[in-house]
Chain A
Amino acid sequence: DGNYCLTCGSDKTLKLWNPHKGTALRTYQGHGYEVLDAAGSFDNSQICSGGADKAVALWDVTTGQVVRKYRGHAGKVNCVQFNEEATVIVSGSIDSTVRCWDCRSRRPDPIQVLDEAKDGISSVKLSAHEILTGSVDGRVRRYDLRVGQLCSDYIGSPITSVCFSKDGQCVLAASLDSTLRLLDKDTGELLGEYTGHRSTTYRLDCVLNELDTHVGCASEDGHVYFWDLVEGSLALSLPVGQGVVQSLAFHPRLPCLLVATQGQVTLWREDAFQPEGDPN
C-alpha cells in the first residue's frame, strides 16, 4: 500500500523493506532458485512470490513461513499477483500459461489455467474483475471475468510489461521495440505511444503515476523515463544508475517512485514528501 517494499533476487530470498526509512524488516527464505517476482496482499498479511524453481509460494508476513507452495508451472514463474481480496494468486510463467491458484482452499492444482498465449507470459496484472497478461508472443490479453470474454490485442513485439491505468480504462503495454503503447481497454485502439527509452532485451517495468498523468518506464541505459500521458512528450528522465533499471514501482497514491537497479533499490520522491500514516 505504499508503505513497504518487497525485493526479490537471485539469492533465493525475498526481503521486506521499509523504503521510507531504509530498513530491512524481514527476509523470507524458501525458494529453491532465484525469485523473479513478488507481490503483497491488500492487507499486508501475505506475500506471494514466484521463482525460477517453477513454484509459486504464499508467505505469511509475520512468521516468515511458506504457507503454501503451488507447483504446476512447467517453467520459471515470471510474475505473480494477488487479486483484490488476496484469495487468488495469478501467476504467469514462461511456459506460456497463466495459472490461478486458490489461496483459500488447500487445492494443490490451479483453479484455472489460461493457456491461450503462444509464448511466455512476461507480465500479469489484475483488476477487480480482469486479468491482464502480456506475453512474449506480442499480445496483450485481457480476460474479463464479468463479461466472460477474452480480448487479445496484437502489439507485435514481445511484451515486457503491462499495467492498467488507475481509472481502469486504459492499458499500458511496454514492448521490446522500445515503445510504450497506451491502448484503449475496450476497443484496443492506440491512444498514445511513448518512445525514447531503450528496451530491447530485458523485461522492464512500466508504470503510470498516481494521477495517470504520466507514464513511466525503466530503461536499459540506466534512466527512468517519464512521458506526459496526453501529449506523449518526454517529461523527465531520471538518471538512476549505470546499468539496467530492472524494476519500477510507483506509489499508489503519492508521487513516490521505487527503482531497482543493480542490486539496490532507490526511492525517489519530492522534497516535501511526507509518508502517509505510520508504517508499523
Chain B
Amino acid sequence: KMAESSDSEGEDLVSYGSALQPLQEGERIKKPVPLQEQTVKDAKGRYQRFHGAFTGGFSAGYFNTVGTKEGWTPSAFVSSRQKRAGRTILGPEDFMDEEDLSEFGIAPKDITTTDDFASKAKDRIKEKARQIAGVVAPIPGTTAFDDLIGPSKITVGVELLRKMGWKEGQGIGPRVKRKPRRQKPDPTVKIYGCALPPGLSEGSEDEEDEYQPENVTFAPKDVMPVDLTPKENVHGLGYKGLDPSQALFGVSGREHLNLFTGGSEETSNLLGDLRHSKGRKLGITGQAFGVGALEEEDDDIYATDTLSKYDTVLKDEEPGDGLYGWTAPKQYKSKNRPEREFKYIGKVLAGFSLASKPSAPIKIYPPPSLPRNYRPVHYFRPVITAGNESCHLQKALEESTGKLESDPTHQSRHALNAAQRREQLGETELKGSPAPSVLEYLSEKDRERLKEVKQASEQQMKAKTVSQQSPNSRFQLASPEEAAHKWQMLLGGQVANAGSSDFKPFAKNPEKQKRYENFVKSLKRGEKGERLERFFDQNMTEWERGREQEEFFRAAMFYRSSNSTLSSRFTRAKYEDDVDKVEVPRDQENDIDDKETAVKMKMFGKLTRDNFEWHPDKLLCKRFNVRDPYPDSSVVGLPKVKRDKYSVFNFLTVPEPTTSVTQATNEKIQESNSLNKPKKSSRWDVSDKEKEKKDSISEFISLARSKADVQQQPPVPAKEESGTGTTETPLTAVIDEDKNQEEESRRPPMDLFKAIFVSSSDEKSSSSEEESDEEQQPTTSERQSETTKQVDTADSSSSNLQENVTASTDSGISSLPTSKQELDATEEFGPKLPPAFSSGRFCKHLDRKEKHRKTRERHKTKKERKRKKEKKKKHKKQKNKGKHKNKKSEKDSSSDTTDSSDSLSDMDTTGLSPKELLRR
C-alpha cells in the first residue's frame, strides 16, 4: 500500500539511497548481514580491505589469491638457454595495482602541482592569459579578484622582505662589506673539480671567496633559527653521545674538522655537525673514487699509525674539538668578542649565546631596622594619652580608685571582660556559670596583695598622666613605662610572689642578679616606671636599660612557677622548648617521668597507658578484613595538628593566645577526666564519707570497728577496692547520681566509654575478691580485737606514709588520683593560659584541682587504714607462727614486706584472669 502511494506520488518526492528490493510473497526476510561479514568489493569484484598493506583497499596477490588454492602467481619465470631471464629491476610500482597509480592512489602518475608551488609561483602564461581574459570579460578586472582571493602561502613579512630585495637564505640587514677571510691552506684535503655545494653551509661559501672585489658587498649571514627541539633525554644540557661517524673515521675525519674550526664557529652546532658529516662525504677527497696507487691518502684502509699524527707537545687547544662530538659544547673561540666576558665559561652550550650585556646586579635591600619597642603582636593597651580625652578618663579613674574591679571598666572597651560587660548592660548573671575570674580562687592573702598592686598601679597611672603633660618627656618615657604597666597588670600578684629567695635567674652575673632582686622587690611593692629605673645600672644606655627591664619582667614571669604556693600546680610548659617543631601530634605520650615511677612501683595500668586515636589506612583495614573505624576521615596514623612555628618573638609576648594544640590537649584531657570521673567518683565518695568521720584517731577506731562489724555480716570485700561494695551503696549511689548529673552534659557517647572502660578487669577483680574474702573472713573477728592494739603503731607509721604516699604498693588505683592531679597540672598549667581563658574552663579545673587535693587527703587516710589492716593480718600470721617480734622491727620492715605481699596478692588475684577467660 505504501509502495503504491509512493509510486503515485513518485515525481514529487526526493528519494535518497537505493530502494529496497520489493518483497516476494512467501519469501523469508533476509537476515541482515552481520557487520563482520560485510565486505566491500571494487569494480572488478575484488575484495577491498579497509586497512591493508599500504593504503587499504589493496588486495593481496592476484585477485586476492594469496592463501587460496590457486595461490600466488608470481611474475612468469622463464629461463632457458636461449632466453635467459632478464634481470628485471622491480620497483614498487610492480607490486601495485592500477588503482594505486591512478589519481588518488599512493603513486599517482599524473603530475600535479604540489602545495608548495600551488599559488605563489604562478604561471606567467596563465597570468597573462587571465589578464587578457580580464580585459575581454564583460566586467573588466574580475579576474584580478581571483588573484586576491587565491590563497597566499607566504606571510606578509616574507613578501615585504622579498619586495625589498631579500632572497631566501640570506640574512637581514644592510649589506656588509666583508673582509677577505684568511684562508687556511689545507694540504690534506684536495678539492677536486667540483666544489662543495654552495648553500650547504656558510663556511664552505666563505672558502670560495678567495678574491674579494672591492665594490662588492654581501648580504649578512642568515640568522640561524633557534633550535626548538625539545630535550627528551636525561643527559646533561647540551650533551651529545659519542658520534661514531666522527670517532671511527679517525684521523682524516678529525683533520677535516680542522678545516672548519677557525671560521664557522659562530654558526650553530646543529648545522656544524651536519656539515661535518656531510662535508666529509660531499667534499670529494679522493677516497670516494677509491685509492689510487699514486695517492698518499690511504690511511683509511691501510691504517698506518705514525707518530706524526699524535701530538708531541701539549697544546692549549686540541685540533678539532678532540671530542668526536662526544659532548657538544665546543671551545668557543671567536675572536671578535671581548674576552673577559666568557673567560670563566670556556664552553657555550648549543642554543645558548653569551649575553651581550651583563645582567643588572640584584639590588639587595637591607631589612628594616626594628624600633626599640617593636612588638610583632598587637596589644590593646588601655589608651591613656595625655591631652584631648585624658580629662574624661582621669575623672573616670578618680571615681573608680580603690575599687578593685571597676578600674579597667573605663579604660577601654577592649579591656572589658564578659562579666564587666554584662554588668554594664545590666544583665543578670548566668546561672551555673563559673565564677567570674581567677581571683576567686586565689587565697585571701594573695588577693590582698593583688589589690595593693592594683591600687599602686592606679596611682602610678595618674601620676603618669600628669607627668605626660610635658611632650618631650612623654615620648621617651611612655613606652617602657607603659610596658612595665602592662607587665604588672598581666602578672598581677603572681609576679609579686615571684623571685623568692631561692631563685636566681641571673646567677652568672651577680650584679645583675642583685639588680634583679631589687627590681622584683620593688615590683612587689608595686613601684613603677621611673622608680624602677633606678635599680638599673646608671652606666647603661637607655636602650640597655629598657632591655634589661624587659628581661627582668620576663624572668619574673617565667619563673613564677618556682613560687612555693603555686609551684605544686605549675610545671614547665611542655611545648616551650621544642621551638622549631611545626607539626606535632595532637596527643603525645605524656611524660615518661611519672611513668618511670609508676613502673618502679609496678603500678601498670592507667598510669603507664596512653590511648590515642589512631587511623589505620583504608587498605590496611580491607586487608585485615576489618571495618574502617573512621570511614570518613582522610587522616592516616595519629591525627596531627598544624602548629605555628615559634619565633623568637613568642618569648617577648606574654599574652599570646594559646595555640590550638594546647587547647586540643586540654580539651582532650578534660574529656578523659570527665570520662574517668563517673567511674571513680564512687570510690572517692566513699572515702569522702569516711573522711568526714575520721578526724581524730578515736573516731577512726570506732569507724574501724564498725566497719569490721559490717564486714562480718555480709560477704563484703575487705580490700580497698571494695569501696564499691554493697554496704556503702545507698550513700554512694546518691552522691553518684549527683556527680553523674554534673557530668551528664559533657559526657561523650557510650561507645567511647565502652571502648575504653568495658574491660574484663572489673569482673575479674570482683570474682577474685570474693575468693580473697573467703580467706579473710575468719580472720576479721580476731582483727577486731587487735585494732586497739595496733592503733599506735599504725599512727606512727602513717606519718611516714604521708611522705611517700605515691610510693604506695597498691595496684595503681589508690594513688591514681594524686598522679592524675599531677598529670592535670602538667597539661593544664604547663602552657601559659591567657587571661581570656580565665573564665569558664579554667575555673572548672581549679575546682577539680581542689577536689583532687581533697581526694588525695582522703586517700592518705584510707591508705592508713588499709595499711593497718594489712599489718593486722601480718601480725596475726606471725602470731600463728609463733614468732612474736617486737613492734619496732616490724615497723621498719613493714614497708618492704607489705610491698612483696601486696604484689603477690595482686598477682594472685589478677593473674587468674586468662584462665578464667579461657574457661568462659
Q: Is A167 touching B599 in the complex (CB atoms < 8 A)?
A: no
CB within 8 Å of B: which A197-222 residues: 212-213
**Are the C-beta atoms of B611 and A154 separated by less than 8 Å?**
no
| Interface assignment of B614: CB less than 8 Å from any CB of chain A | yes
Closest A residue to B616 by CB, please name it.
A145
User: Is A1 an interface residue when CB atoms closer than 8 A count as contact?
Assistant: no
C-alpha spacing A183/B759, complex, angstroms: 13
Give the distance in Å from the alpha carbon of A143 to the alpha carbon of B610 in the complex.
Answer: 12
B608 A100 Cβ-Cβ under 8 A: no
**Are B608 and A154 interface neighbours, CB within 8 A?**
yes
Complex alpha-carbon distance, A187 and B615, angstroms: 20
Closest to A189 in B: B605
- Is A156's CB under 8 angstroms from B609's CB? no
Interface centre among A88, A115, A128, A145 (most CB of B within 10 A): A145
Contact B609 A167, beta carbon cutoff 8 Å: no
Scan residues 220-279 of chain B and give those whose CB is less than 8 A from a CB of chain A. none
The SS class assigned to the A binding surface is loop
Contact with B along A114-156 (1 / 0, CB 8 A): 1110000000000011000000000100011111111111111
**Given A112-B637, A184-B913, A186-B761, A148 and B614 touching (CB < 8 A)?**
yes
Are the CB atoms of B614 and A149 closer together than 8 Å? yes
Is the Cβ of A183 less than 8 Å from the Cβ of B604?
Answer: yes
Shortest beta-carbon distance, B374 to chain A, in Å? 40
Give the residues from 213 to 262 in chain A that come closer than 8 angstroms, CB to CB, to chain B: 213, 229-232
CB distance from A72 to the nearest CB of B (A): 15
Partner of B595, one of A102, A114, A154, A229: A154
Give Cα distance in the complex from A187 to B630, angstroms: 22
On chain A, the residues within 8 Å of B161 by CB distance are: none
CA distance in complex: A111, B755 (Å)? 26
Q: A130 vs B603: C-alpha distance in the bound complex, in angstroms? A: 25
Q: Which B598-651 residues sit within 8 Å CB-CB of chain A?
A: 598-600, 602-606, 608-617, 619-621, 623-630, 636-638
Which of these, A128, A146, A155, A213, contacts B629 with CB under 8 Å? A146
Whether, in the assembled complex, A191 has its beta carbon less than 8 Å from a beta carbon of chain B, the answer is: yes
B224 to chain A, nearest CB (A): 46
Q: Is the CB of B914 within 8 A of A167?
A: yes
A169 proximal to B (CB < 8 A): yes
Give the number of chain B interface residues (Cβ < 8 Å): 53
Residue of B nearest to A112 (CB): B617
A83 interface hit (Cβ, 8 Å): yes
- Whether A2 sits at the interface, judged by CB under 8 Å, is no
Residue tally, chain A, CB below 8 Å to B: 53
Chain B residues lying within 8 Å of A84, measured Cβ to Cβ, are 624
Choose among A85, A129, A152 the residue that contacts B609 (Cβ–Cβ < 8 A).
A152
Instruction: Let me know if A88 and B623 touch, CB within 8 A.
Output: yes
A165 (CB) vs chain B CBs: closest residue: B914
Check B911–A151 contact: CB distance below 8 A.
no
**Which one, B599, B614, B760, B913, contacts A150 given CB within 8 A?**
B614
Q: Contacts A100-B620, A145-B626, A146-B629 given; indicate if A187 touches B612 (C-beta within 8 A).
A: no
Q: Enumerate 25 A-B pairs (CB-CB under 8 Å) in ascending A order.
A: A88-B620, A111-B619, A112-B616, A113-B637, A128-B626, A129-B624, A129-B626, A139-B589, A145-B621, A146-B626, A148-B616, A148-B629, A150-B611, A154-B608, A155-B599, A156-B595, A165-B914, A169-B913, A169-B914, A182-B911, A193-B907, A212-B915, A212-B918, A213-B915, A230-B912
B positions within 8 Å CB-CB of A: 589, 592, 595-596, 598-600, 602-606, 608-617, 619-621, 623-630, 636-638, 755, 759-761, 811-812, 903, 906-907, 910-915, 917-918
If A102-B619, A154-B599, A156-B596 are given as contacts, then 17 extra A-B residue pairs at C-beta distance below 8 Å, sorted by A number, are A112-B616, A112-B636, A139-B589, A145-B620, A146-B629, A147-B629, A148-B628, A148-B629, A149-B612, A149-B755, A150-B638, A151-B612, A154-B608, A167-B914, A169-B760, A187-B605, A231-B911
Nearest 6 Cβ contacts at the A-B interface:
A148-B629, A190-B604, A188-B609, A150-B614, A189-B605, A186-B759
